[in-house]
């Protein structure tokens, strides 16, 4: 499999590029996907807050496509540090293109709790 690139330019001029190369960014044994993410220009708190909901919606589509590429389920945890109380959600993306939220919490996500 070769590298896949996903890119979105937001209304405020920020561009996020996610690169996923299964040979580099997928650990089959651990079933862990860790794509590379690059922002241009580097976002600050205010600009990130302005695009967070659009970013999250886009990342759902990116993660669904990654699950289809690897033909396996994978998990992605998203943290909303811009909320009055930071929150996180753990999502499972299935190879059939569907997704489900499997856990939610407040504060900083701790994978060991």
* pLDDT for position 2: 84
* pLDDT for position 113: 66
Cα(21)–Cα(69) distance, integer angstroms: 10
Q: Which residues pair with 103 in a beta bridge?
A: 90
* Strands (E) located in the chain: 4-9, 15-20, 26-27, 32-33, 36-40, 74-80, 87-93, 99-106
* pLDDT for position 1: 62
Q: Are 18 and 63 in contact (CB under 8 A)?
A: no
pLDDT averages per 10-residue partition of the chain, 113 residues: 92 95 85 89 89 94 95 91 85 95 88 71
Adjacency order of strands within the sheet including 4-9: 4-9, 15-20, 36-40
């Amino acid at each position: 499999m070769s590298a896949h690139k996903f890119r979105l330019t937001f209304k405020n001029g920020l561009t996020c590029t996610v690169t996923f190369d299964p040979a580099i960014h997928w650990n089959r044994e651990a079933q862990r996907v860790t794509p590379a993410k690059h922002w241009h220009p580097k976002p600050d708190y205010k600009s990130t807050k302005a695009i967070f909901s659009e970013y999250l919606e886009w990342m759902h589509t990116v993660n669904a496509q990654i699950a289809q590429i690897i033909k396996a389920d994978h998990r992605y945890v998203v943290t909303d540090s811009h909320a009055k109380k930071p929150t996180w959600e753990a999502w499972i993306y299935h190879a059939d293109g569907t997704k489900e939220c499997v856990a939610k919490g407040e504060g900083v996500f701790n994978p060991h709790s």
